[in-house]
Amino acid sequence: MFLRQIAVSGILAVAAAASALVPRQNVNPGPVSGDTFIHDPTVVKTPGGTYIAAYTGDNVQLKTSTDRTRWQNAGAAFPNGAPWTTQYTKGAKNLWAPDLSYHNGQYYMYYSASSFGSSRSAIFLATSPSGASGSWTDRGMVIESFENTGWNAIDPNLIVDAQGKWWLSLGSFWSGIKMIALNPSTGKRADNQLISIAARPDAGGAVEAPYITRNGNYYYLWVSFDRCCQGAASTYRIMVGRSTSVTGPYVDKSGRQMTQGGGTQMMASHDSIHGPGHCAVFTDNDGDVLVYHYYNNAGTAQIGINRIRYDNGWPVIF
């Protein structure tokens, strides 16, 4: 009996060790409070240790936090409007999917101008010394797409690779996720090359919201599969793949390339968490942090925050 117990304990220990290597799915968001409504979030930690979030809304909306938990509204990035974008938004003030980062002593924000269901879109760049409402200076258009382009210039994300080169990933539906090289001195496009890094040719093209991070020897491409923006009926889910090169090819845990529909699922709808997606990742004192939106049972978009660890070179949300 004693030997049998030892054997069973050994089997359980091996099983537990094996399960620890499998990315956990459907972890509940960490605690947040205050003004928790958000959509398509991005977060940057300031040199002073506080946090700024930007998200989809009229003239790009901002929030701030001192502790990464309690958030408060902080106005619009462009409180006087952004008339240079209205040819893409059909006159609307709503600007989409900003991407915040801090380089060269200033904040960079790439953001999208489009209208729902259209690929007549553009990505713009703005910079700010403080990140505060009204402090942003538009630096012009970075890239645009047209109705016949076959790809969509929204959902930008800046990644600086291990060699210091700047890249912008972007894309939503159509032929999938693209990447362009940027000139670090201007933040604008460096050449005319357009690199494909993810697509879902067998799923109606339902991939968007790329975000690339680096940990150790790997770059990780985070994306959202399926459908956003339907409240509690949204089917968004967070997927990831990895590559040793920033330009790919990115593959999932099974080895399937993301250009062929691959992706390892990291979080999907569960319990009262509906359609988690459009994630961003930033590094804090306690490691990498995942921020995303999800819908509650009432259909209201909420900020979700979790930490990330890495097992065998794959991210695990906890």
The set of catalytic residues is: 40, 208
Q: H-type helices in 21-167, by residue range?
A: 86-89
Q: What contacts 294, CB < 8 A, 6 or more positions away?
A: 29, 236, 273, 274, 275, 276, 277, 301, 302, 304
Alpha-carbon span 159 to 92, nearest angstrom: 29
Alpha-carbon gap, residue 284 to 58, rounded angstroms = 28
Q: What DSSP string runs through 43-79?
A: EEE-TTS-EEEEESEET-EEEEESSSSEEEEEEESST
Report whether 62 contacts 56 (CB < 8 A): no
Residue 242 CB partners (closer than 8 Å, separation 6+) = 218, 219, 220, 221, 250, 251, 313, 314
Q: Is the peptide bond before 23 cis (omega within 30 degrees of 0)?
A: no
Token pair 């502790």 is found at 67
